[in-house]
Amino acid sequence: MSQIFPKPIADLPEADIPINGIKAFLSQGLNHQIIFMEFSEDVDLSEHSHESQWGIVLEGKIDLIIDGVKNTFVKGDRYFIPKDVRHSGKIYAGYADMTFFNQADRYKEKINKARTANTALPNTTCPDTSGCFFANP
């Protein structure tokens, strides 16, 4: 992948999104998420809906069918998908965007086993290390 995101973005937790060819970084807010995504493969998105979503295309191209209307978005374009509106699409390899989801739990943080295995809870005495590790330092 092109690594278009600078180090402060690439240092964010990786989002656990079950799509092949995606690398996504998660910025978590109290009632929203911002996902920085890039794709190394073409991806077909099946029709679905969720809370509102706003995105800006940073690289490449995406075809979105939003409420039955097809649009193609390229670098610099913005799109908005209102809450509960059905949408689908095609993402092309090389695509990257920054997407705001008006939903705090749209995606979870990907568990990094190497990171969790070496991260003990701060200020915790662990007589037995089996219960002293966590995923989000």
Q: List the CATH number of the domain containing 76.
A: 2.60.120.10
pTM of the model: 0.79
What is the structure's pLDDT at 2?
A: 53
Q: Is 33 exposed, middle or buried (0-12, 13-18, 19+ CB in 10 A)?
A: buried
Instruction: Say if residues 127 and 91 touch (Cβ distance below 8 Å).
Output: no
Establish if 121 belongs to a structural domain: no
What is the structure's pLDDT at 83?
A: 97
What is the structure's pLDDT at 50?
A: 95
When divided into structural domains, the chain yields a total of: 1
What is the structure's pLDDT at 113?
A: 52
The rounded distance, in Å, linking the Cα atoms of 39 and 95 is 5
Distances in Å between the Cα of 57 and the Cα atoms of 54, 65, 69, 112, 121 are 10, 16, 18, 28, 38
Establish if 14 belongs to a structural domain: yes
The rounded distance, in Å, linking the Cα atoms of 110 and 95 is 21
pLDDT in tens, the chain (137 residues): 558 999 999 999 999 999 999 999 999 999 999 999 999 999 999 999 999 999 999 999 999 999 999 999 999 999 999 999 999 999 999 999 999 999 999 999 998 754 444 444 343 343 444 333 333 43
3-state secondary structure (DSSP) of residue 117: helix
What is the structure's pLDDT at 118?
A: 44
**Which residues constitute the domain of residue 31?**
7-106
The rounded distance, in Å, linking the Cα atoms of 80 and 53 is 6
What is the structure's pLDDT at 1?
A: 56
Establish if 59 belongs to a structural domain: yes
Establish if 57 belongs to a structural domain: yes
What is the structure's pLDDT at 131?
A: 39
